[in-house]
Amino acid sequence: MSDMEERTFVAVKPDGVQRGLVGEVIRRIEARGLKLIALKFVQLPLEVALSHYCEHEGKPFFDDLVKYITSGPIVTMAFQGKHAVLIARSVIGATNPVQAAMGTIRGDFAAEIGRNLVHGADSVENAKREISLHFKDSELITTWHHTGEQWIFGS
């Protein structure tokens, strides 16, 4: 796999949808040069939410987290590009919006850890797991040519 084929999974959570921030989230990630390869508007079934957040099972906030992510429709996306995981995480900002830097999505728009607007996979391995949980292989469209890529990544 080439560096440029690294993938990440991002979701606009129910509060982000309700607050009209879908376009803002997509815009900021697109602007960093990542290539969109999948996108859906979906209300997560409980079993998908449980699987998505399985690493947090047993933590005190787990039940609230599952209620939150299933409380309304979300936008799920996959992006591809060099350092896709780290780039998306840096655009999103720290988990607790109180600590998130200004200029990040959470730092600019959120105030509560339990309402932090966006999800971004935290590793290449988790991104793979999350992309395959939320998308069928046939829903990933990687064949299109991102014309800005050579100017953004220099390759």
Task: Report residue 104: phi and psi, to 5°.
Answer: -95, 160
- Residue 17 or 69 having the CB closest to Mg ion: 69
Query: Which string of DSSP letters, residue by residue, matches the chain?
Result: --GGG-EEEEEE-HHHHHTT-HHHHHHHHHHTTPEEEEEEEEPPPHHHHHHHTGGGTTSTTHHHHHHHHTSS-EEEEEEESTTHHHHHHHHH--SSTTTSPBTBHHHHH--BTTB--EEE-SSHHHHHHHHHHH--GGG----S--TTHHHHH--
Site string for ligand IDP, 80-119 (x = CB under 6 A): ---------------x-----------------xx-x--x
Site residues (CB under 6 A) for ligand IDP, limited to 114-143: 114, 116, 119, 122
> Pick from ligand IDP, Mg ion, none: which does 61 bind, CB < 5 to 8 A by kind?
ligand IDP
Q: How far is the CB of 77 from ligand IDP (least distance, A)?
A: 15
Q: Does 149 bind Mg ion (CB under 5 A)?
A: no
Q: How many residues sit in the footprint of ligand IDP (CB under 6 A)? A: 9
145 in active site: no
Residues of this chain that bind ligand IDP (CB under 6 A): 56, 61, 65, 95, 113-114, 116, 119, 122
Q: What amino acid positions are annotated as catalytic residues?
A: 119
Q: Which residues bind Mg ion (CB under 5 A)?
A: 122
